Amino acid sequence: MINLIIKDLRLSRNVNIFAVIYVLFLAAMGLTQPISVAVHVLYIMSICMITFAVIIYVNGYDGRNSTEAILNSLPIDRVDIVKSKYASSLIFAVFNGIIMYIFTNLIKLFVAGVQGEPMALWDISISVIIILMFYSLYYPFYFKMGEGMRTFNMILWVFIFILPSIVTKLGKKFQGTAILKNISEIDPNEGMFIFLAVSVIVYIISLTISKKLYLKREF
């Protein structure tokens, strides 16, 4: 299983450089925002976007090159194939969060005149929760349908790049409203451990379901 994870990590280095620059730009933009909610939305969104982009690329590569068919022709346990995808996705989420955290804090530390807030650890936690919950739903379909998810992946790829525009419009719409005020007053540390624990449990349940579906799949 370790070798399968390493394969995914190596493939992740080839992700579109435009996507990386775009997401780093979004993270840097967070340091220019005067509204605390907008800042952290940008940070959370940037972590989720780059993680989704990496996973889409890696899974897409496997699909285009019939990697699963090749792996299933080798003496490799199918369960390990499933577990490696779940493990890789979690690693991508945490790693990207750490990179973004270091990136924004270095800008805050070394660039003069930056007044905004750098990324906080709870931004990473929320991002990981979102990513775990999303892929808890996604992977059972992925391991059931395989290439049947290609259209969905294309739609998700487009959505990743229009998401900032959607969030910006929603932010302007709700700016100054009671809803935004109430959100800004929420302590992100309250219940964070519970939500994170729940997302991990759901992720493990999803893994169990995916293993059963993949073992029944024919190649």
In angstroms, what CA-CA distances link 44 with 109, 115, 140, 193? 20, 19, 25, 17
* Per-residue pLDDT tens digits for 162-211: 776 776 676 666 666 665 556 555 566 666 888 899 999 999 999 999 99
Cβ(78)–Cβ(1) under 8 Å?
Answer: no
pLDDT grade for 85, boundaries at 50, 70 and 90: very high
Cβ(54)–Cβ(15) under 8 Å?
Answer: yes
CA gyration radius for the chain?
19
* Per-residue pLDDT tens digits for 8-62: 788 777 776 777 787 788 778 777 776 667 788 888 888 998 898 888 888 887 7
* Per-residue pLDDT tens digits for 128-156: 999 999 999 999 998 888 766 777 878 88
Would the pTM count as exceeding 0.75?
yes
In angstroms, what CA-CA distances link 173 with 38, 76, 178? 13, 52, 12
pLDDT for 3: 79
